[in-house]
Structure 1
Amino acid sequence: MLPGCSADEAESVADKFEESKTVVDELGLYKGKVKIVSNDDPAEEIMLLWGIQQPIYSKPNAFVRQSSLQLHLDACGRSLSILQSPSSLGVPGVTGSVMWDSGVVLGKFIEHATETGTLHFQGKKVVELGAGCGLVGCIAALLGAHVVLTDLPDRLRLLKKNVEDNLYGNVRGSAVVTELTWGNNLDPDLCCPSPDYVLGSDVIYGEDAVVDLLETLSDLCGAQTTVILAGELRNDAILEYFLEAAIKDFVVGSIDQQQWHPDYRSQRVVIYILVKK
C-alpha cells in the first residue's frame, strides 16, 4: 500500500488517480483500452505501481525456473522448449541467458490478444529487442509475423538454437536472428521498411541502457510502429527515468492486467504500449 496510508485510503487514492487518467480505446495497432501516461504523472504512476501492486511482496519468477536447463511452455498449439544457460547468470550484466516472468507474460499476452482480436500479427514485420532466449519472438512467428530477433553478439548462439528448435514444420510466419547493440547505427533491413511492431521484455534497466534503448526505438520506429514492452518492477527510479524520457517522443500507455492472458498475470510485471508522437 502507499506509505502512511491504510488499505482503504490507498485504494481511494488509486481510484482517484485512475479516474484522472485518459483512457483510449486503442493505441497504434493495439485495439484495446490503454491508460495514457501524461507528461505530468510519471512520478505518480511509479508511486502507485509500487504502492498498489506491491511487487516486493509478490513471488519472483512465478512462471520460470532459472536453475533449469529448459523452460517448457504451451503456446499457439505447440509445446515450446526454451533452452536456458543458468551458469551465465554469474557473469555481470548477462541476464538474457535465462527466462524472466516478463518474457513469459509478454509472450502469452500477445497470444491472448491475437485470440481476442486486439492484436494482429499475420504478415506483420516484427523486431524483438533484447530477445534473450527468444520465447517472445518465437510466439510472434507462430502467430504469423515475420520476426527479426536481436541481441548482443555473445547472446546469439543460444537465441539461434531456440529459434531452430521451436520453429519447425508448418509455421505461419518466419524468424531470423541478428545482432544489435542499442545506440549503434541500425542495419537498413531493420528499419526500412519500419516494423509494424517492436517487442521487448525486461529491457528497462540502468540509465545508460535507457538512453541507448530510446535512441534505438526512435531510429527503428516509424509513424505506424507499435512498441510493446513488458518490464519487471525492480527499480522504481529507473522506470520513472524511462517514462520521463520516453514521453518526450512517444505516446505511452499502460495495459490493465485484465487484458492479459488470465493465467499469466503478475503484480511484479507491467506492460506499456508506445507509439511515436
Structure 2
Amino acid sequence: MSLGDENGGGSGTGGGTGQTRTRFPDTAAGDVYGGARRPARSSRSLVTVVGVVVLLIAAIAFANRGGGDESRSPDPAKEPAAAPTAATGVRPVSGRNGTLPAGYAQDEQGAQSAAANYAVALVSADILKPDRRRDIVRQLFVADKVSALETNFNKAYSKEFLDKVGLDANGNAAPGMTYVSRTAPVGTKATELSPNSATVEVWCTGVFGTAGVGSVNPVTNDWFTMTLKLRWSGGDWKVESFSQKEGPAPVNADRTASNADEIAKAVAEFGGFTYAR
C-alpha cells in the first residue's frame, strides 16, 4: 500500500485523486475470484491502476493535512518493550459516542484501545458515505479540527473520487456488488505518552475492494501501520492527526482465493470487533 505522509504530504494527493495498485486476476471473464490461485508475490508486483486502497488513504491524508505537528521519532533506547494485547483488568470503555466506543481511560491502555478502534473507523467503508463520514469525523477528532476536516473530507471524497472506486454519490456499490473496506488491528504500541497526549502506532491488516461478478477491483488484503496522535479532550482521547505507512507484511500464503459470493457473504455475516486492552 503506497501511503501519503502525515497531514497529506509525500504521495498524498491534493484533490482526492492518486495512484493505487491493484492485481488483476488471471481468470477469464466471469467471476474474477473463482479458482484463482494466488502466487507468492511482493507488493511491488501489483499493477498501478485506479482502484481503492491507496486512493482511500491518499484522500484521508489530503483531508488530514494541516492538522498538528509531525511526530518526532522516538528514541529506540527508550521504547517500551512489546507487551501482549491482553486484558488489563481495567474496563476499556465506559460507553459509546454514536456507533463508536467512547470513554477510554486516561492512561496508556486507554490510548492504545482508542487508537485501535479509531484506525478501524478511519479505513472503513463508512468513511465514504457522506452521512456516516460526518458522524465519524465529529466523534473521532478534537473539536478544533472538526470544521476544517469536514470540509477537506468532503472535497477528498468527491463524486469524481467515488466514481473512480466504483461507488455512487452515497458511497454505495453498484447493484450486485459489495464494497469492502475492513481493517483489523494486529497490535498497538505507544511511542509517546503524557497525561494529556499520546502517540500510538497500530499495526493492521485488512481487506479492500469490491466483491461481485465482473468486478475489476477484486477484494485483496494489505498490511500497514497507522500512527495516531491523540489528545485528551472533553474527557476522552481524540485524534489530532494521523499517518500511515506500508507493512510490516508477512509472506503471502499460496491459497486458493474465495469466490465473490463467499467474500460478500462473509462481509454481511461477520460483524466487526471493538478492540480494547
TM-score class, shorter: under 0.3
* Higher RCO structure (Cα 8 Å, ≥6 apart): 2
TM-score by length of structure 1 reads 0.27
